[in-house]
Every structure is written in C-alpha cells, then in structure tokens.
Structure 1
Amino acid sequence: MRTAVKTEPFDTQGAWSRWTTRRWLRVGVATTLAVLAVLGALGGWAMWRTSQLSAELVDRRSPALIDAMRLEQALVNEETGIRGYGLSGRSDFLQPYQQGVSAEKTALGHLRTLVRGDARAVADLAEVERLAGSWQERTARPVATASAADAVKLVTQRAAEGKTTFDSLRDALARQQDHLEAERTAARRKLRQAEALRNWMFAIIAGVIVLVAALVFEGLRRGVTGPLSRLGSAARDVAQGRFDRTITGDGPADLRLLASDVDSMRRRLVRELQFSEAARTQMDEQAQDLKRSNTELEQFAYVASHDLQEPLRKVSSFTQLLQRRYGGQLDDKADQYIAFAVDGANRMQTLINDLLAFSRVGRVHNDHRTVDLEDVLSRAVDDLSVAVEETGAEISHDALPTVVGDSTQLGMLWQNLLSNAIKFHSPDRPPQIHVSAVRQGDMWEFAVGDNGIGIAPEFQEKVFAIFQRLHTKDAYPGTGIGLAMCKKVVEFHGGTIRIDSEYRLGTRVVFTLPATGDGPVSGEEESRP
C-alpha cells in the first residue's frame, strides 16, 4: 500500500514548499525570459540611440558645417574676382567669380537640405542668402556685366556700399558657422554619452546574464540535482543492504513526494524481505524434511523391492512347479487358477523390477560425461533385434550428435522409445521408425516418429504418468512405466519431452537435450524418408 506523504513540512514552510519542480522551472524560465526581454529592449534602444546620433553627426552636422565653409569660400572668390576686374578692367579676373557662383549654388542646395527642420540654422541660412543676394544685386552682377571702363567706374562709385554689405555677409557666415559648429559639438557630446550609455548597458546586460546563469545553476543545484543526488545516495545505501535507513527528501514538492514513495517502497521491501526470509527458512526446513523423506522413501523402495523379490520368486517357482506336476491332473478350473497365479507372480516381479529401475534414475546412474548418441542408439537397436526381426520394423535416423549425460540412462531412454514404437505398431503394416535431430540454439531437439496406432489428443499428457496405461495387458503387454521413465531421464538431463500433437501418421515423441557445441547445426528438421 502506498504511504501518504506527510503534510506538516508543507504547512510550516508556506506556499512555496508546495511548488513542484515543473512549476519552479516554469516560473524561473518565464522570469529569465522577461528579464532578458527587458535587457534586450534596453540594449536595442541604446544601439538605436547611438546609431541615430552617429547618423545625425555624420550625415547632417558635419556636412552642414563643411558646406557652410564652402559657401563662404565661394562668396570670397566671387568678391575677389569682382574687385580684381573692377580695379584692373581685365576680364580674366572674372573667372574666380564665375567659379564662385557655381560653388555657391551647390553649397546652398546642400545646406537647404541639411538644415531642414532646424529653425536657427534655417534662419542663419536665410540671412546669408539675403545678404548674398543684396551684394550680388548691388555690386557683383552690375560689375560683372559691365565693360572694363564701366566696371572701374562702378567699383569706384560703390566701393563703400559693397564693402559694408560684404562685411555684413561675412559676419552672417561667421555666425552661421559658429552655430553649426556648436550644434556639431553638441551632437558629438550626445554621441559620446550615448556610446557610454550603450557600453554600460551592455556591461550590465552581460553581468545580469552571468548573474541569471549563476542563479539558475544554483537553483538547479539546490532544487533538483542536490536533492536527486542525496536521494540517489540514500537509494544506493538501501540497495547495498542498509534497509534500516530512512529516506527523506528535500527540495520541490514532487521530489519530496518521490522520496516518500521510495521510502514507502523501502519499507515494503523490508516487509517482503522479512516475509521471504521467513518463507526461505520454512522452505529450507521443508526441503530438509523432503530430502530426508525422499531418502527414506528411496531406501524403502529399494529394500522393499529387494525384500519382495524372494517371496515372489518362491511364489512364482512353486506355482510353476505346481503347474508342471499337476497340470492336466486337475480340472480346467484348477489349471486356470494356477495359470493366473503364475502370470500374476511374473507380472508383479516385472513391475517391481521396473519400479526399482525408475527409482534409480538420477540416484544410482549419475555419471555425466560425453556420450555419443550414435553408439547409444546402436546398442539400443541391438538389444531390440528380436522384436525388430519379429515385426519387420525399419529404423532410420539422422546424424546424431554428442551430448553430456549418463550413458546408461540415455540408453534406457532410446530403448523405451524404440520399444514403444515397435510395440504399438499398426497390425496392417510393419513399423517404420525414424529418429531425427535438429539443433535449436543451445538445445538439441530429437524426435522418434513411427507409423503406429498413435495416441489420442486427450491422452497425450497422461501417458507420461507412472503406471498410466491406455490398453489392457492382453492387447499390449507392459507395466505403463516406460514413458514415465523417459520423462524422468530427459528432465534429469535438463530437457523436456512431449507428444507432437500435429503428427498424424502415428506417434511422434519429441524431447530436448542441452547441446555441447559439437555436431551439425540445422535450421530445419530433415524430412522423414
């Protein structure tokens, strides 16, 4: 009966003690995944923030400052070209002006795109464009389109106005560059801060992962592997014979329940062992009594059979003497009675001899050695030569192996089986007997088949009982001990014997003997000729 688990530890330890290993693992995995998800989100945000600031610095702030410087350089080139053409009247001085105009357009186009969304930068750019346009309209374009003589006059007339306007443009460009530089510096500082935050974030994530791994390892050690190891150690102690050791468990509820079940099994085993020990002691006592009884029975059978031989011989001798001397002198009834007495004495003597031979199996003849079954079968056939000749029996056999056993008992086995096959032959045909041998793993399977009268299915188990007869002594002589003797010999050698219920031509007795590794190995039985 399964022992119930005590619930006191559950109550004293609180609700946590009722958690099973599966629940602990489920909660632990869910918590770990949640922590890792939060850390992953923070790490992703840090990466995204760093990437955004880096893109802003690289793609907007630095290029805007560079284009602002290029714009200033283009305007300076324009002013230099206009001033040189106005002072000298030489048209080659207009080449820097024309290059500056082209560079100015390019820089302004880039700046408009880069400062979009930045109000101050847009205002600075608008101021620069306004002042540049005013200077272009009042000074640069009129001078550039005038002839050499007119250009000198215009430069002289508008020198003061042009200088004032261009100085204002220079100041606007300087303010624009200062603002862009400040914004780039701020973006660079934010980028460094974001990178530092990202690095700290990943360091914290790595630390948390290591901490989670350590907590998981320690939790598994304390909650699973440790209790299982202690439970296994206790179970091994019990397996080594320490049945008095109580198995207690710790950790999650299911492991404690497992420990309680194992301890319940230990207590059950202890009870079973105690019962088995008592039963074994009783069996030993009964075995001793049985051995003593068998010894006494064997001695009794041996002595009784020997003691019965002498009076039976006397009865048989005197009844035969009476038959010879007074046969024919008395009436028919007297002759019949005398014949009954002689026959009864002879049958009793035969029965006693067979019983004595049956009791000697495994007791008197017990000399196990290598036996060639070919020689044993040949001797048995020679002993039955008279019966073979009288019935016209034909005996054939397969190649027989060598086994380990007692040659005398195996000779009795063959002689009884062949004798039965000859005795119970069909009256309308001569006996045909075939002995087959087939190797089946570590056993030899032998069969003695004949074409005789056969055995009805309901008697195929009973024929191996001692003194079991299926026919009267007038029809078939014998004591009914032959197949019982065969069964005892086969089982004494570690085999089995039976009647083949599927054989329909007569009777086929199948028995097995342990193989010694010698002889042919066959997967199928050879067909009977």
Structure 2
Amino acid sequence: MTADERQSRTRWFSAWTTRRWLRVGVAVSLVVLALLGTVGTWVLGRTQTISDDLVNVRSPALTVAIRLEAAVLNQETGIRGYGLTGLPEFITPYEQGLTEQEASLAELTGLLEGNRVGLDDLKAVRDAVAKWQERVARPIAAAPAGSPSPMATQRAAAGKEAFDDVRAALSGQQERLYAGRERARDDLMDTMVLRNWVFGAIAVLIAVLTALIFEGLRRGINTPLERLGADARAVAGGDFGHPITPTGPADLRNLSREIDFMRQRLVQELAFSEDTRLRLDAQTADLQRSNAELEQFAYVASHDLQEPLRKVSSFTQLLQRRYGGQLDSRADQYIDFAVDGANRMQTLINDLLDFSRVGRLHNSHQSVDLDKVLERTLSELSVGIEEAGAEITRDPLPALVADPTQMGMLWQNLISNAVKFRRPGETPKIHVTAAREGELWRFEVTDNGIGIAPEYADKVFVIFQRLHTKDTYTGSGIGLAMCKKIVEFHGGTIGIDPEYHDGARIAFTLAPRPPESPGPSTVPEATRAEAEPAR
C-alpha cells in the first residue's frame, strides 16, 4: 500500500463519527454473537432432547419392563401354587399380576411409541405371555378350588416350555432397553462435552470481543474526552485563554470546536456579567435592608399604636361610665361607637402582631404529636364548644417535626371557625381526618356549618377579609390568613374543598419535616423586647 493510499484511508476513517464507529462495532458484535448464539442454541437443544429421551422415555421404559416381569412372575407363582394345592389364596397374586401386567403393557406402549424395535419386543413379550396364559394359567385358574388340579401335573412340561419363552422374551426386551439407555447416556455425555467446548469458545470470543470494544472505546472516545475534559477544566479554572484542541472522531472534534467557540463567547461576556453581578449584589443588599426595615417598622408601629389606643380606649370607657345616661341618646351612641372602635383596633393590632410573629418568634421545630396538640386546643375551646353543643370527632393524627405553638394556633383557628360559623338551630358536627398523600400528610377539617361560596374560596385566606359583618359573626378576619401562613411555612398548602357542599371542608397538607429552617429574624433584639409588652 502506497503512502497516498494510506493517507486517503486515514482521511476516510477520520470522517467517521462516534455514531458510525458504534454502529459498525455493534453490527460486527451482533453478527458474531448471533453465530455463537445459534451454535449454542443448537447444542443446548440437542442436549435437552437427549436428556428428555433418557429421563422421560428410556429409563422409565426399562423400569416398567422390570415391573412387567415381576407381574408375570407373580402370575406364574400364584398359578403354580394354586395348581399344586388348590388353595384359593394363591389366586390373589395371579389376579394382581394380571392387573399390573395390563397397566405395564399400556404404559410401555405409550413410552415406546415411535420405537419400532421396542414395539416389536413388546409384541413378542405380549404374545409369549398370552400363549402361556392360554395354555396353562387360565385352565388351571378355572379349576375348582379345594383340591390340587390334575391339569397342573399334566401340563407341567408344556407350562415350563411356554414360560421359558416368556422369560426369554422379557430378558431380550430388557437387554435391548438397557442397551438403548446406555447409548442415549453415551450420546448425552458426548453432547455435553461438545456443549462445554462450544460455550468455552463462546466465552473466549466474548472476552476477546469485549477487550476489543473497550480498547476501541478507550482510544476513540475516552482518550479524546479526557483531553477535552482537561482543556475544559483549565478554562474552568480561570485560564480563559487556554485553547480547546480538537481530537477523536469527527463529532468529538466538532464538539471541541463548539466548546472553544463557547470559551471565546464567555471571555466576551465575562466583563458584562461581572458588572451585572455587582448591580444584583447591590440590589440584593437593598432588598434585605428594606425587608429588615419593614419588619422593624411593623414592630415599632404596633408598639407606638398601642399607647395612644389604650388612652383612647380608657378615656372613652371612662366617659361611658361617668356620663352614660347623663347626655342625650345620640351622645351615648357616639361614645359606644368610640369604645367599640378602640377595642376593635386593639384586637386588630394584636392579631397583626401574632400574624407577623409566624415564622420568626415561633420557630422551634421539634417532634410534635398532633393528637396531643388538638386535645389541648379542644380543652382551651371547651367553653365555646359546650355552649354551641358541638360534636367533634377525629381520626388518629400523626407526629410531625414542626413548631408546637404554630400547630396550636392552626388547630385553634380551624376548630373555632368551624364552631363559630354554624347553622342556626343545628348541632355543629366537626370531623378531622388525616391521610398520607405521597411525601406529605393531608388533613381535612369538615363541618356542617354555613359553608363558603366557591367565589370566596381564595378571598377567605387574605388578611382582614371578612364575608360577614361584625354584628353577625365576631372576629377580625385574620384566622384563615394565619392558617395559610403557618401551613406554607411548614411546606404545605391549604384551600377549600369545592366538591363538598354540606358545610365547609378546609383541606391542607403538611410535610413530615419542614423543607428548610428559616433564618433568624432581622429585627434587633432591643426593638423586639420593646414591642413584646404591647401584646
């Protein structure tokens, strides 16, 4: 082969992609494995055929032939004893022998089906036995019992000659069956040796083929990928000027060129991305500072609102006690409005403080038995439950890793809402269920109250949103909003079941363990301590 031919062939192979190399390699491997599999299948089939013939035909046939011989011998013994003594008990072995003979002949006929020599031997045995039975056995068996049969003596010589023919036929049959079994065993051993050689050759060829495949993969794919990986690691380490060297099959070389083009683009985008990162860091710092200031504002504002509100409430209540009934009815009404407004404002501020504390102050995750938490909640709400005559049932509840205070607030809001929004004149019935749903626990609080219209299913979870006037149902409209915040803080969701129409069904999920531990509050300790007495 000339140098030009070698160079042309090299260029031709260099245009092959990884896919083409794999296709050619897989095709060659499949052809070789198919040939080996065909040979192995034939050898296994041959082994199975001989083994089945030996186990299911030849060995059982020899065993049945021996059993047939025993049955005929039992007949001869019984007939001889009966003929010499006339005792009836000698007929029993003869009759049993007849039964066993018929069974053995039928079984041998089935086993030797298709075996011409075996069937000929069986016919010779059957004929010899029939001849002996016709000449000797049946006449003697038909003689009356009680005395020796003269026929036994008269036909002794003929009977011996006939039974010798039976013995000869049985012996010839067994010898040929034994010889056939030995030939089958020798064939099986020879086939097993061939099978071992064939599968040994298959194992060697598979090992050689595997070694060739691994070597081809190493040279054609692993080594180029390792070089590409080394170049990529150099670039990832900060050496953006390091070039990517194309090696390997055509597609890997194209991949190397694409990666090198990406490296060049990264160099171009690096300056812009760095500037963008700095701006994002500044915006993130501003956002964190804004959140901290907002949280601090909520505490300080709540604390600052408490003092003037207490004064307004105290003085309006003082006016009500001191001057109630001394002014006109309109003045008394105005004073009542002022007192009620101050009290409601006080309640709203306390509820807002509780709402803001969820996830900040109440953030002590531990194993919580929800059954015990619900029992404590029902004990705390026992007065309202007894007044309403509510019937509360529940399924067994699991233990979760959660904040116990928040779990108590969750159950308190849900149960108190179910008791409060009851139908007039009807006994409130509340049922709590829990079931595993994938990786979460799904809880449902079902009541037979006034229910929630579908169009308000989302509105009820918004803070301070009320569906009824304060004269109809008391409250600040923060209960379900707090439940939503608690459930979401513990990695779950909450909503109204739209398919339930006989009241309301609040369904929510909780994770067995919180998804992550929130960081500490950014409110300064001094501010927090200052705000706490305002509750």
Deviation at 1:414, TM superposition (A): 0.8
**CA distance change for structure 1 residues 516 and 466 in 2, over 3 Å: closer, same or farther?**
closer
Q: Which whole-Å CA distance do the structure 1 matches of 2:215 and 2:363 have between them?
A: 68
Aligned to 2:323: 326
Give the partner amino acid of 2:15.
W
1:361–1:489 contact (8 Å) kept in structure 2: yes
Select the residue among 379, 390, 399 that pairs with 2:396: 399
Correspondences of 1:347-358 after superposition (within 5 Å): 347-358=344-355
After superposition, the C-alpha distances for 1:493-525 in whole angstroms (9 at most, x for unaligned) are: 2322222232222222222222269xxxxxxxx
2:494 partner letter: I
Q: Once the 2 structures are TM-superposed, how far is the Cα of residue 304 of structure 1 from its aligned partner?
A: 2.1
1:238, CA displacement in angstroms? 5.3
Counterpart for residue 259 of structure 1: 256
Is residue 231 from structure 1 mapped to residue 212 from structure 2 by the alignment? Answer: no
Q: CA deviation at 1:364?
A: 1.8
Name the structure 2 match of 1:368: 365
Could you say if the C-alpha distance between residues 460 and 239 of structure 1 is closer, same or farther in structure 2, counting changes exceeding 3 Å?
A: farther
Displacement of 1:19: 3.4
The equivalent position to 2:481 in structure 1, one of 484, 496, 500, is 484
The alpha carbon displacement at 1:333 in A equals: 2.0
Native 8 Å contact 1:445 1:512 kept in 2: yes
Aligned pairs for 1:142-221 within 5 A = none
When structure 1 is superposed on structure 2, of 240-249 and 360-369 the one drifting more is 240-249
Rounded to whole Å, the distance in 1 between the matches of 2:334 and 2:319 is 11
Q: Which residue of 2 aligns with 1:85?
A: none
Deviation for aligned residue 1:249: 1.0
Measure how far apart 1:456 and its partner are: 2.2
1:407-455 deviation line (CA, Å, top 9, x unaligned)? 2221111111111111222224222111111123443222212112222
Match of 1:19 among 8, 15, 18: 15
Cα distance in 2 between the residues matched to 1:286 and 1:262: 33
TM-score by length of 2: 0.52
The structure number with the bigger radius of gyration is 1
CA contact 2:17–2:250 (8 Å) conserved in 1 = yes
Look up the match of 2:338: 341
- What percentage of aligned pairs have identical amino acids? 66
- Output the amino acid matched with 2:335: I
* Structure 2 residue 304 is the aligned partner of structure 1 residue 307: yes
CA contact (8 A) 1:467 1:480 kept: yes
Instruction: Tell me what 2:492 maps to.
Output: 495
Change (3 A) 1:420 1:273: farther
Which of 450, 458, 462 does residue 465 from structure 1 map onto?
A: 462
C-alpha contact (below 8 Å) 1:21/1:223 kept by paired residues? no
Which stretch has the larger CA shift, 480-489 or 285-294? 285-294
Letter aligned with residue 408 of structure 1: T
Root-mean-square deviation (Å): 3.9
> CA deviation digits over 1:161-207, x for unaligned, max 9?
xxxxxxxxxxxxxxxxxxxxxxxxxxxxxxxxxxxxxxxxxxxxxxx
**Quick one: which amino acid aligns to residue 308 of structure 2?**
P
C-alpha contact (below 8 Å) 1:319/1:342 kept by paired residues: yes
Aligned to 2:510: 513
Change (3 A) 1:335 1:286: same
Evaluate the alpha carbon distance shift between residue 273 and residue 435 of structure 1 in structure 2; reply closer, same or farther with a 3 A threshold.
farther
Alpha-carbon deviation of 1:252? 5.0
| Contact 1:431–1:451, Cα closer than 8 Å, also in 2 | yes
Contact 1:373 1:403 in 2 (8 A): yes
1:247 aligns with 2:240: no
Equivalent position of 1:295 in the other structure: 292
Q: 1:276 to 1:354 in 2, by over 3 A?
A: farther
Alpha carbons 2:496, 2:507 under 8 Å: kept: yes
* Further displaced range: 397-406 or 266-275: 266-275
How far apart, CA to CA, are the structure 2 residues paired with 1:24 and 1:343? 85
| CA distance in 2: counterparts of 1:279 and 1:464, whole angstroms | 38
1:298 aligns to what SS in structure 2?
helix
| SS of match in other structure, 1:359 | helix
1:238, 1:510 → 2: CA distance?
53
How many residues end up aligned between the 2 structures?
A: 320
Amino acid aligned to 1:370: S
Deviation, structure 1 residue 348: 0.4
1:449 and 1:223, CA in 2 relative to 1: closer, same or farther beyond 3 A?
closer
SS at match of 1:330: coil
Change (3 A) 1:244 1:360: farther
After TM superposition, list the pairs within 5 Å mapping 1:117-128 onto structure 2.
none
Distance 1:398 1:270 in 2: 62
How big is the shift at 1:398?
1.3
Q: Look up the SS of the partner of 2:418 in the other structure.
A: helix
Letter of the 1:445 counterpart: R
Q: 2:452 aligns with which of 455, 465, 473?
A: 455
Q: Is the 8 A contact 2:18 2:221 kept in 1?
A: no
Is the alpha carbon distance of 1:472 and 1:265 closer, same or farther for their aligned partners in structure 2, counting shifts above 3 Å? farther
SS of the equivalent of 2:400 reads strand
| Alpha-carbon shift at residue 297 of structure 1 (Å) | 2.4
Q: Which amino acid aligns with 2:455?
A: E
The Cα shift of 1:354 comes to: 0.5
TM-score (norm 1): 0.53
Q: Which amino acid aligns with 2:452?
A: I
CA distance 1:278–1:491, shift in 2 (3 Å):
farther
Extract unaligned runs of 5+ from structure 2. Answer: 1-9, 29-212, 515-535
* Counterpart-to-counterpart distance in 1, 2:370 and 2:217: 67
CA contact (8 A) 1:21 1:224 kept: no
CA distance in 2, matches of 1:271, 1:456: 58
Q: Whole-Å Cα distance in 2 between the matches of residues 514 and 301 of structure 1?
A: 29
Q: Structure 1 stretches of 5 or more lacking a match?
A: 1-13, 33-215, 518-529
Residue deviations 1:256-293 (CA, integer Å, cap 9, x gap) = 22222233455567778877766665555444333333
Decide whether aligned partners of structure 1 residues 506 and 237 sit closer, same or farther in structure 2, where only a CA change above 3 A counts: farther
Per the alignment, residue 112 of structure 1 pairs with none
Aligned residue in 1 for 2:437: 440
Cα shift at 1:384: 1.5
Q: Which amino acid in the other structure matches residue 316 of structure 1?
A: S
2:402–2:513 CA contact under 8 A, matched in 1:
no
Whether 2:428 is the aligned partner of 1:431: answer yes
Indicate the larger mover: 347-356 or 423-432: 423-432
